[in-house]
Structure formats: structure tokens, C-alpha cells
Amino acid sequence: MNFFERQIEVKKSSRRLVVLFILAVLSIVVLANLLVVFLSLSGGAEPADIATFAIAATAITLVFIGGVSFFKTMMLRNGGGSQVARSLGAIPVPEDTTDPRMRRYRNVVEEIAIASSTPVPELFILPGEQGINAFAAGYTTADAAIAVTEGALERLNRDELQGVIAHEFAHVVNGDMRLNIRLIGVIAGLTALAVIGRVLLYSGGGRSSKNNNGAPIFIIGLIAISAGFIGVFFGRLIKAAVSRQRELLADASAVQFTRQTAGLAGALKKIGGLDAGSKMKNARTEDVSHMLFGEGMRFSSMYATHPPLVKRIKLLEPEFDERELQELQRRWKSAPPSGLREDQQMGLAAPNDLPPRPTQETPTGTPRQAPKPQPMAPSPGPRNAKEIVAGIGDPGAASYEYGEQVRRSIPESLADRAHHHEHVVPLVFGLLFSADENIRVAQHGIVLRTWGKTTADAAWFFAGEYTNLDPRLRLPLVEIGFPALRRRSKQELESIMATLSELIAADGNVSVFEYCLGTLIFTGLHESIHHRPKWSGKRHHLRGSAKEIATLLAVLAKVGHPQQGEAESAYQAGMNVVLPQSRIPFALPQQGILELESVWPSIDGLEGKEKQQLVEALVTVVMHDNVMSIEENELLRTVCAVLHCPVPPIV
């Protein structure tokens, strides 16, 4: 099952979730009505009154369950992944952390994000939780958050942490997060009656012995708690039904991400070998039990949201003997493992996992010494279109190694400032400063007018730092700064986008890099603010979007093939893949790359196989001459990001 097929499967799962929700609600309504009829008959009520009571019970039950589910879903959707994390008491990783465990955690996440071409999520820690666990939450990839327990940071070595984080990224990439948010809303509605019923049943009025004034409240509470327990029953069944298979798929994807099974299997073994296991103490653990890496609380096998631990290990290591867990339990009883110590012993620690050395800084908070050029990793190399498309959502070993090397090639003096919500703004502005002195002065004035002298001077300083920066590191640098950007207020984000637009237009010409940088930031910030795709709307089809597709392929062909004959040949090769019957001739884009602004609403409305065909056509165009330039790669990644298809690194 490839990326596009998994997207279709997630939508099917969402529809199944709706059906299961309706069936569960109907069951609750039937039980509530049976209780109303029974209690009414016991009290000697008239048939007409019983019918009225039943109708009222049905209406109240439907409105209450539906209202709670809708409210909970909207609350989580509007708050993004950070809302879910904070609701469990999670705290953000400090921007300037020197804790090697947290720096390692952040580096691992950024490496996997670069390898999978996925926006870097916000990072949280669940303090005080000694069990090994983690979860990913969010409504879109742009508002995603990943949280890990303190126990995971303490006990897992780098390879094991990579396995756990890669598992969570699989949920991010495959669209499981949105399904999980909806599932939380569904469960909240189904179980809310039990909570209300418990309050009413044990309220003072329900226990009054002096009069019968509390009897109606007691009866309503009895009906609510009885119906609510049915909701709890169905809620747990639905969670188990939806979650188990997706956890196995995420394990398989994690192995694909990290190119080996030992890390993920090692994390699972530590869960089985340590007393704390994967259990969490938080009172709201059950709300997110289906989202966790491991079982957060004990359930019977019928309600279990995860496959058995031994089964998960054996799928990774078929020769595994579960008696090994008993040996690990004995060994770790007196001397629990330390992840950082294992990193040192096994040679797993990365240089940038350690805290940076103190550096002399300018008044703007930027390092006085320019970073030295860093050696860039060899690229995975050009491949054929079908192989590249197959890697969407499932980057292989070469992509992951490339992601690691890209992250380690970014100078730490720049990376540390990309993590800081104050420094990241001038850092991004500086990427757009021109090499032309006159234009750069004008751009400095643009920033000065809106953001003040400190930010303008810092942007100028960073622009000088980028002289020695490999061009392939520019967009990854922005990507690791994206979580810090998201922490700004909505008003500030809108101001950032306005300033970026002015900087891009300052010289009267929009380069490919400028367009890609602007589009990636505008799209990501829009989704993080509004929690929905920027161009979301009705579904489109290839034939109905032929004009827009032709424009997109023509722009891409022109960027990678300066000669018109070569560009036309590349364009036609792409059209033969996506619209073989089309007779739309190649036409040079009149507005250059800005022509793309007209195509986004249509192409983002494509789904499944049609979107896959389009991506194959895009790759066919850029690979037509068997050479992919940095500009082609950046534009391809940008287009695929707009399409929500994370193409792995190619250059």
C-alpha cells in the first residue's frame, strides 16, 4: 500500500468511524428509551406521557452526544496538536535547551522531517511520566505536535528514539492524526453521558431522604449513567477497532524510515523489560490511548488499542524469544538502562546532540563569527519517476541518511537561532536579501519600517552568513525554524507574511527560490493558523483541471530546461503521463513562475490515483534530461508540499 492508497484508506476509516458512531448512538438511544419506558411504567405513568418522555429522552440524548462530539472535535482542531499535548500537561522543549537528551530528541525529529519532506512539528515532553511512550497529534501536518515521555528520553538510546519518532511520523504522514482527532471527539460524545449521569446520581438531590424533590434528578442520572456505560463500551471497542492495524502499519513505516529494525525493536523490549513499561499516570490518558506509541493503560484484550507487545517485536525480529524479556526484567531491576550512556558506548551520539560551546555575540544576539562552510552529504541521486513517487511517505535508507547529513551540515550557530522565536524572523528575512547592495539596502528599509532596527540589522547580518551556506541547506534551515515561527501570534504571523511579500518583490523579479520559500511559508503558516489546507474546497479531476496542469508542467519544464525545444519535449513527456489524450500545446509562461498562483486550487483538489499520476508527471518533467538542478528540486518539493505529498530528497 503506497502513500496515495493509504490516504484513501484513511478516508474510508473516517467513513467507517461515522458509521460506528451512528450505530453506537442508536444503541444508546434505544437503551435510554427502554429505561424511560420501564421507569415510567413502574411509576404508573400514562401511555401518552411515556411517549412524550421517550421522545424527549431521544432528542436530549442525540443533541447531547452530537454536541459534545462536535465541540470537542472543533476545540482540538482549532488548537492543533499543541492543544492535545498541553491538555496532558506536556511542556515544550525549551528553545535554548542545553540538555543533551532534549537536543538529541529535537535533532532526531528534524532529521526525519527533512528525510520525509514533512514540516517539523512542535516538540513537547511529558514530565514525570517514567513509562516509555509518545504520540503525534494535529489536524494538518502544519499544526502537528509530537510529545514523548520523560522515561523515553531517559531510557532510550538514539537508535531506539529514532524508531519511536519514526513511528509517530508515520502517523503524521499517513493522515492518521486527523482520524485520531475525530476519534477523540466521537469518544467524548459517547462517554459524556456516563460522566453527567455519575454527577446527577450522586448529587445531593438524588440522595435526599426528607422529600422526593431529588427523585427526578436521581432517575435522570440513572438513565444517563446506564446509557453512558454503553457509550464507554462502544467507545473502547471503536478505538480498538480503528487503532490496532494502524499501529502495525506505523511500525512497518518506522522500519522503512530508519533503515533497520533494531532501534524500534529495542524500544519495545525496554517497554517489556522495565517496570514502568509504557504506562502513563495522567488522568486523561484514556482520551489519547489510541494515539500512543505503547499501551498507556491496562485494557482487556478486547479493548486493547495496540497489538500485543510480543507480537510487535516478533514482526520485527521473527527469531525473538519472549523469555528474553524476563532476563531483561531481572537485569534492569537494579540497574535501569540509560539512553545517553548507551549512545556513548555504542558510538551513536551525534556531535550536534551536545550543547553548543559559548560564543561571543553581537548586540542583536547573533554570533560574531561567520560559520565555516560545512561539507554536504552526497545526494541519494536521480531515480526514475515511479521509484521517486513510491518513496512518497516511505523514504528509504538513502533518504534518511541524507536527512541526517543535511541536518548535521547546517551550522549550529544558525540552527540554534532557527529554534528561537525571536531570532528565526530575521533569519528567514535574511534569506531573501539580495546580493545587490542597492536592493539589499531597500530590503533593510522594508524590515526596519515594520520590525525595527534590531530585526533589520540581524537580517542584514544573517544575509552575510549565507554567503558560505550550501544552497541545498536554505530550505531545510527554514523548515527547522518553522515551529519557532508558529509560536508567534496570529497578528505577528500575518505581519511576517506581508514583509516576506515585500522582500520578494523588492527587485521586481521573483526567483525560483524566492517563490518556493514564500509559498512554503505562506502555506504552512496559513494551515497552522486556520487548521485547514489553504486551497481546500471541492474535489477536482484531471480532465477538469487540464488547463491548470498544463500551466504547471510548462512552468516546471521551463525552469529545468532553458532551451525552448528541450522544455517543450519535457512538457510533452509529462503530459503523456497525466493527460495522454490532451492536445494542449506547450506555451511559455507569460508571468514566469507566478503563473503557478492560478493552478493551486484545482490541483490540490485531486485525490488518490489522479494525484499520483500528476506527481509522476511532475517527476517525469524534471528528470527528462536525467539531471535535476537545485531549482528544479526546490520547485518540485514546493509543488508536492502544496499537494500534501511529501516527496523525499532527490538532490
Q: Is pLDDT of 357 > 70? A: no
- Domain assignment present for residue 156? The answer is yes
Are 173 and 294 part of one and the same domain?
yes
User: Do 133 and 218 lie in a common domain?
Assistant: no
378 shares its domain with 502? yes
- Strands 145-149, 122-126: pairing kind: parallel
The count of other CB atoms within 10 Å of the CB of residue 417 is 25
- What residue type is assigned to position 19 of the chain? V
Confidence bin at 10 (pLDDT 50/70/90) = low
Are 206 and 66 members of one domain? Answer: yes
Same domain, yes or no, for 28 and 47? yes
pLDDT band at 380 (very low <50, low <70, confident <90, very high): low
First to last CA, the chain: 26
Residues constituting the chain: 651
Burial code of 185-209, b = ≥16 C-beta within 10 A, e = fewer?
A: bbbbbbbbbbbbbeebbeeeebeee
Phi and psi (nearest 5°) for 617? Answer: -65, -40
Specify whether 262 is located in the same domain as 319: yes
In the set 95, 111, 168, 247, the catalytic residue is 168
- What would the mean pLDDT of 555-573 be, rounded to a whole number? 91
Q: 378 and 450 share a domain? A: yes
User: Is the residue at 348 inside a domain?
Assistant: no
Q: How confident is the model at residue 226 (pLDDT cuts 50, 70, 90)?
A: confident
Same domain, 99 and 128: yes
What is the span of the domain harbouring residue 48? 3-77+180-235
- Quick one: 9 and 21 in the same domain? yes
Give the CATH number, domain containing residue 133: 3.30.2010.10
pLDDT tens digits for range 54-66: 888 888 888 888 8
Reference 185, options 81, 27, 74; nearest CA is 74
Is 504 inside a domain boundary?
Answer: yes
Q: Is 608 left (phi over 0), alpha (psi -120 to 50) or beta?
A: left
pLDDT digits (tens, 9 = 90+) for 253-300: 888 777 778 999 999 999 999 999 999 999 889 889 989 999 888 766
* Crossing angle of helices 158-174 and 215-258, rounded to 10°: 110
412 is catalytic: no
Supply the pLDDT for residue 600: 87
Closest to 254 (Cα-Cα) out of 315, 149, 153, 168: 168
Grid coordinates of 64: 447531547
Residue 458 has a pLDDT of: 96
What are the b/e assignments for 25-49, b being 16+ CB within 10 Å?
bebbbebbbebbbebbeeeebeeee
83 inside domain: no
The dihedral over CA atoms of 489, 490, 494, 497, expressed in degrees to the nearest 10, equals 60
In a domain, 148, yes or no: yes
What is the pTM assigned to this prediction?
0.85
For residues 417 and 388, state if they share a domain: no
Amino acid identity at 56: A
The answer to whether residue 479 is domain-embedded is: yes
Q: Are residues 103 and 131 in the same domain?
A: yes
Mean pLDDT along residues 325-338: 92
Q: Which of 17-21, 139-143, 477-481 has the lowest average pLDDT?
A: 17-21
Domain boundary residue, one of 509, 541, 559: 509
Identify the pLDDT of residue 373: 42
Cβ(276)–Cβ(132) below 8 Å: yes
What is the grid cell recorded at 126? 511529558
Q: Do the domain assignments include residue 522?
A: no
Domain count, the chain: 4
Assess whether 58 and 135 both reside in one domain: no
d(CA 491, CA 440): 26
Q: Is residue 68 part of a domain?
A: yes
* Average pLDDT score over residue span 44-60: 81
